[in-house]
Copies of this chain bind each other. A is one copy, B any other.
Amino acid sequence: MEQLEAMGRAAKEAAAALARLSGAQKSRLLEAVADELLAMQEAIVAANTNDMEKARQQGLPAAMLDRLLLSPERLSGVVADVRKVAGLPDPVGQVLDGRLLPNGMRIERRRVPLGVIGVIYEARPNVTVDVASLCLKTGNAAILRGGKETLLTNLVLASAIRTALARCGLPEDCVQLVESTDRALVSGLLRLSRYVDMIIPRGGSGLQKHCMEEATIPVIVGGIGVCHIYLDESADEDKALPIIENAKVQRPTVCNSVETLLVHENRARAFLPKLSSFLARHGVVLHGCPKVMEILQPLGNAGYCPVVPWRDEELSREWLTVDLNVGVVAGIDAAIGHIHRYGSGHTEAILTANMQQAEYFVQEVDSSALFVNTSTRFTDGGEFGLGAEVAISTQKLHARGPMGLEALTTYKWIGRGDHLIR
């Protein structure tokens, strides 16, 4: 814990140096980080090869191994992203609002960095660079705690970033990596409220929950998407099918893919067989409510998706596969009830031709993103034009939905008066 205290103190001091930088200085810093990563490419790839070798020996599944891999191609992608972030506008220093008060005080709210951000993440080593570059861009110091599977890779990546910091005359401790994989250090980091201003967990629901439970620091919970599409009575069938297909199969492993389709009862009998036939070529497995089973089971498997009864406990989980829950609902209120009961507050969409129903849906559903006749896959910082994505928040405080650079800032009030008293 003493080690963490020391890291916290160093981060806080380093953050003050970062907060002073101009936008141009921060862009130059990120270009230096990109250069240094390229210069150290050999060492990075070698370290990653070691990590991969160990992981293989431990018998990690292929999907997991793929997440650990940082090939030269992937590294160029990471470096390109750093240069992209370098080119984004600097949010810090912006005056959010201000006015001249009746007593003569000039009051303004100025956007400032948060200070120190703690990031706890799992396998992918690119997160080390992504997060560090977003923090530096916004003038924040970062304390990073990556997964043990990529420790060697992360050590070299962090060392490259710290070299770039030193080259730019900044404290290396602007970016620090927790070098031990001791789990107690995670708990310690979550309670380092004296030095750390925000915790971002990047990982599965177990990690998110652990952070929520343990932290005395604000935690940005997010990234868990139990997303729904509601097919309203008035939906256009032919246009609905490609949206459902896109939301389910284009990239089923991400948080904004759809888990559950809810169909208005007056459309079920005609629509469900078409849907099953449309999705069959993707290997989709349907998990149906009793009504869906009644309609689809008699059709058999030839040219249709396999269909099994849905299970209550599966309705509030991410599939991350081409499985899809399908339910028949009596109408929009039943659909909204289902969403509030099982959803994670991430993204929901309505397919409808009826304007009132669309507005009712986006008004009543309490999720971070609501779409009308649009695939759930669009909940994404890049798609929303935010320039960069820090995380997708499914909580309501500070930031909701895709978080851009601004989500890594706060503001201070500044008042100037000619010797004003109250």
Residue of A216, A371, A373, A374 contacting most chain B CB atoms (<10 Å): A374
* A405-417 to B contact mask, C-beta < 8 Å, 1/0: 0000011111111
Residue of A99, A236, A370, A414 contacting most chain B CB atoms (<10 Å): A414
Cβ of A107 within 8 Å of any chain B Cβ, yes or no, is: yes
Chain-B contact segment, one of A78-86, A288-296, A360-368? A360-368
5 interchain residue pairs of minimum CB distance: A246-B421, A374-B417, A239-B419, A396-B410, A369-B413
Q: Are A398 and B398 in contact (CB under 8 A)?
A: yes
Cβ of A342 within 8 Å of any chain B Cβ, yes or no, is: no
CB distance from A405 to the nearest CB of B (A): 15
Cβ of A41 within 8 Å of any chain B Cβ, yes or no, is: no
Interface of A: prevailing SS: mixed
Cβ of A50 within 8 Å of any chain B Cβ, yes or no, is: no
Cβ of A234 within 8 Å of any chain B Cβ, yes or no, is: no
* A388-401 to B contact mask, C-beta < 8 Å, 1/0: 00000001111011
Of chain B, the residue at the smallest CB distance from A246 is B421
For A198, list chain B residues within 8 Å (CB). 396-397
Given the interface pairs A374-B420, A375-B422, the reply to whether A367 lies near B242 with Cβ below 8 Å is no
Cβ of A328 within 8 Å of any chain B Cβ, yes or no, is: no
Other-chain contact of A370, B213, B236, B370, B415 (Cβ < 8 Å): B415
For A370, list chain B residues within 8 Å (CB). 412-415
- Chain A residues 192-206 with CB under 8 Å of chain B are 193, 197-198
